[in-house]
Amino acid sequence: MATIPDAGHRWRCGHCGNLTRFDVVRRARTREYWHVDLAGEPEVEGTETLEEHVEDVLCRWCGNGDRIEVIPRPEPGHEGDIPHDVGGV
Ligand SMILES: [Zn+2]
C-alpha cells in the first residue's frame, strides 16, 4: 500500500523521473455535513476524512506503479535544482 508523502516529501516515479502527475486510487471513510434545502435537495457543505487508504499510485507518464518512491522535497531556495521541463503542460 502506498503512503501519501508528508509536508517534507513528494512522490517520484523511479522509471521516468515524473514528479508531478499520478493516478491515485484512494479509499476514504468520510463524514459529510449535508444541508438539505426545503425542496429536499441535498448539498454537501463540509467533509471530514475519518480514515483513508491509498490503494494504488500510478505514474501518469509511463503507467508504472511499482517504483513510486518517496523523496524529500527541495529545500526552500533550491527549487532551481528541478529541471523546468518536469511537469509538462
Ligand atoms: Zn513514470
19 Cα–ligand 1 center, Å? 9
Q: Residue 1: its pLDDT value, please?
A: 61
The residue count for the chain? 89
11 Cα–ligand 1 center, Å? 11
Which of 74-82's residues contact partners 24+ apart within 8 Å by CB, and which partners?
82/19
Q: Residue 54: its pLDDT value, please?
A: 92
Asked whether the beta carbons of 58 and 22 are under 8 A apart, the reply is yes
Residue with cell 471530514: 48
35 Cα–ligand 1 center, Å? 41
Listed by start position, the domains of the chain span: 9-74
Q: Each residue of 25-56: pLDDT tens digit? A: 999 999 999 999 999 999 999 999 999 999 99
pLDDT(20) > 70: yes
Q: Residue 75: its pLDDT value, please?
A: 83
24 Cα–ligand 1 center, Å? 13
* pTM exceeding the 0.85 threshold for the entire prediction: no
